[in-house]
Amino acid sequence: MSSLDTIPVTTEVATGNVEPLLHEIRHALKRLAEGKEGTVIDLKRLPLAPGEEERIAATLGTGEVRADVDALGPTLIQETSYPGVWLITHKNADEVVVARFIEVTYIPELLRSQQADIDAGINRLENELKN
């Protein structure tokens, strides 16, 4: 794959979608702070130039919380340097990104333990104790 990099094609293009996205995040954060609902943004739905997704991630930076979730392949949940803004990257078992979201919320839903899993856990623990 490294040979691809030797092809002298450069793109210094900006689609102009990055800044509106950052504004959208700012508005979502304000709504959240006012006690309203959180927001999820699907990065795959935006036309972005090569490198722009990375630029967004770099602009948002990394914050205090980073969680690796292992469910149907790895998922990285990273709080950005702006508290309340989370970058969620779903990968499949082959480490290929299958979806990427920006979630503006206090805590991403996926981090919570799920009721069904808790119920299943109780069952398992009870079975463990029975044996």
Q: Does 28 bind other proteins (CB under 8 A)?
A: no
Residue among 40 and 65 whose Cβ is closer to other proteins: 40
In angstroms, give the least distance from the CB of 19 to other proteins. 13
Q: Is residue 44 within the footprint of other proteins (CB under 8 A)?
A: yes
Lay out the site mask for other proteins across 53-92 (x = CB under 8 A, - = otherwise).
----------------x-xxx-x--------------x-x
Give 33 or 72: the residue with its C-beta nearer to other proteins.
72
Question: Could you say which of 6, 34, 35, 116 contacts other proteins (CB under 8 A)?
Answer: 116
Q: Does residue 122 touch other proteins according to CB under 8 A?
A: no
The answer to whether 46 and 17 are in contact (CB under 8 A) is yes
Taking the C-alpha atoms of residue 66 and residue 69, their distance in angstroms, rounded to an integer, is 10
Collect contacts of 32-40 with beta carbons under 8 A, ≥24 apart.
32/84, 32/104, 32/105, 32/106, 33/84, 38/103, 38/104, 38/105, 38/106, 39/103, 39/104, 39/105, 40/101, 40/102, 40/103, 40/104, 40/105
Shortest spacing between CB 120 and other proteins, in angstroms? 8
